[in-house]
Amino acid sequence: MTEIVDLTEYADHGRAGFYADPYPVYEKLRARGPVHHVRTPGPGPAEELWLIVGHEAARAAFTDPRLAKTPPWDMTDDLIGPHLLFADPPEHGRLRSLVTREFTPGRVAALAPRIQKITDELLDEMVPRGSADLIASLAFPLPFVVICELLGVPDIDRDRFRRMSTQVVAPTSDEEAYAAHVEIAGFLDELIEDKRCAAPADDLLSALIRTTAEDGDRLSPAELRGMAFLLLVAGHETTVNLIGNGVRALLDHPDQLAALRADMTLIDGAVEEMLRYDGPVETTTHRFAVEPIEIGGTVIPAGDPVLIAIGDADRDPDRFPDPDRFDIRRAPRGHLAFGHGIHFCLGAPLARLEGRIALRSLLDRCPDLALDGEPDGWLPGLLMRGVRTLRVRW
């Protein structure tokens, strides 16, 4: 019988310590093999599942057809509706093709001037204060406003949506997570219905409502709700933590910060190293074994849930020499921060664009930027990696 590893106990410093720095725990697991039966650290009741660590095993798992995204239970009563994170071929290909017809590289590239303007406005408000919570002042509102404008979401209460969204991706309890899903589902249903009845607009959600494939296929109402949910929540939460974790990494490594300030042509590589070193997504969402799967001498039983440890894969010394060193000149290719294979993140170009603009502008406007105390409020759970508060001063 395979030993069950309690991640918080294995961390030897409790749940909060594991959230602050899970990498030593993953390193110990990786040394023992690529697959482990683990008990997650919450929130809510502990969950037992299988965790895949190491770059090679993780990369293979991303494309293993025996690891399905569709849950082995009936989802007809699902609050949100079908979307890419819960779909396998051929349904995944169908959904993705309908979305990528409208969410094109050209549409993303055309956002650059608007992203810069939003960033400048946020910094105009923040910089005169001399200190701020970077999450609340820049890292959250920038991608939130961008994705709302891209989708055509009208002005909504940022604090309310931030609460709902965070409870979805990093819930503090099962009850709060369920309530957040109910609230977001209701909001999206109203939004989609309003757009159906309104005059045609050029926002992405309106385009998804109208888009039709060559064979006449189009997104159903439930699929529209699911895709709007995925784009709205995943479309900003990951970038919040890309900016927050990235700034924290720079400020923790003054030599790298100085190198970037001296040569802003390093910004692309710096963003890629931020994604590798301490990316916004720590593990994948669940996959499920469709049959018994043997990996590295361990058998995962059919039907069991599986997570891929992205954070560990990107700290594997077999793939990245001296992986715990933050180096913005590192050759960045090969990290798994946006996934791999058919589920590679649809919003990766937008996240990279927002990250580059936010970081360059922040460093230009705040030449003596520094941490103002310890990061606070590490996000619970294994999905998202980041903090609720990051105090900085200049």
pLDDT at 278 over 80: yes
CATH number of the domain to which 100 belongs: 1.10.630.10
The pLDDT-based confidence of 44 (bands split at 50, 70, 90) is low
- The runs of H, that is alpha helices, within 104-229 are 105-109, 112-126, 134, 141-151, 158-169, 174-197, 204-210, 221-229
- The arithmetic mean of pLDDT across residues 249-272, rounded, is 97
pLDDT tens per residue, range 95-107: 888 888 888 888 8
The total domain count for the chain is 1
pLDDT tens per residue, range 312-341: 999 999 999 999 999 999 986 789 999 999
Encoding tokens for residue 230?
A: 């995925």
Measured between alpha carbons, how far is 19 from 333 in angstroms, rounded to an integer?
A: 26
Q: What share of the chain has pLDDT > 90, as a percent?
A: 55
Q: What is the pTM of this model?
A: 0.91
Choose among 372, 243, 215, 292: nearest CA to 50. 292
Choose among 101, 104, 106, 107: nearest CA to 215. 101
* Predicted local distance difference test score (pLDDT) of residue 356: 97
Measured between alpha carbons, how far is 225 from 367 in angstroms, rounded to an integer?
A: 43
Query: Is the pLDDT higher at 339 or at 178?
Result: 339
pLDDT at 359 over 90: yes
Q: Could you list the residue range(s) of the whole structural domain that residue 14 is in?
A: 4-393
